């Protein structure tokens, strides 16, 4: 199970926090701070996962990957494959890259709703839903096209009026 997904810049500012378990806000802030401190201290030569992290549950691992100035961090339980999660991070970043044409920290800051939408297409409730990059990108493209199509909005409005009658 995935406990949380974080995007943190290299200065330690969280740009996205998504917890899949009920966690009080003060504990969320503590977890994100400790997560960043743990990962930022590691050398680039170290592997991209950390086991037995003290501030999480007993069998929690942090799996991360750094792209430019952003750390993409997944907190997972012991049953998850580290390489599978690294691949999932790659799919997530490539989907964001396709959605924004070039993912950057500014895109994550100014379009958190879109980042959450992409993440929700991949993970729901801590479980992985989709890992096929082409299917994911197709779904996101359709959603983007539907949002931009004014005729679809009028069709939806007509459908709601019909349902009200």
> Could you read off the pLDDT of 12-52 as tens digits, one per residue?
999 999 999 898 999 999 999 999 999 988 888 888 898 87
pLDDT at 156 over 70: no
Per-residue confidence band for 103, with pLDDT thresholds at 50, 70 and 90: confident
Per-residue confidence band for 141, with pLDDT thresholds at 50, 70 and 90: confident
Average pLDDT over residues 91-107: 88
- The residues near 126 (Cβ < 8 Å, ≥ 6 apart) are 1, 2, 3, 20, 21
pTM assigned to the model: 0.83
Q: Which of 80, 77, 73, 90 is nearest to 132 (CA)?
A: 90
- The residues near 92 (Cβ < 8 Å, ≥ 6 apart) are 72, 118, 119, 122
Residue 40 CA to residue 71 CA, distance in Å, equals: 9
Residue 81 CA to residue 70 CA, distance in Å, equals: 22
Average pLDDT over residues 111-124: 91
């Amino acid at each position: 199970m995935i406990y949380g997904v974080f995007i943190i810049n290299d200065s330690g500012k969280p740009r996205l926090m998504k917890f899949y378990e009920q966690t009080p806000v003060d504990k969320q802030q503590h977890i994100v701070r400790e997560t960043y401190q743990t990962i930022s201290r590691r050398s680039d030569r170290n592997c991209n996962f950390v086991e037995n992290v003290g501030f999480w549950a007993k069998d929690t691992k942090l799996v991360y990957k750094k792209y430019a100035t952003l750390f993409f961090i997944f907190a997972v339980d012991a049953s998850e494959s580290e390489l599978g999660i690294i691949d999932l991070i790659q799919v997530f970043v490539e989907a964001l890259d396709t959605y924004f044409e070039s993912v950057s920290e500014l895109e994550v800051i100014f379009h958190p709703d879109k980042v959450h939408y992409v993440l929700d297409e991949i993970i729901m409730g801590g479980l992985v839903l989709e890992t096929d990059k082409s299917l994911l990108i197709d779904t996101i493209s359709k959603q983007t096209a539907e949002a931009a199509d004014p005729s679809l909005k009028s069709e939806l409005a007509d459908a709601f009026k019909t349902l009200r009658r």
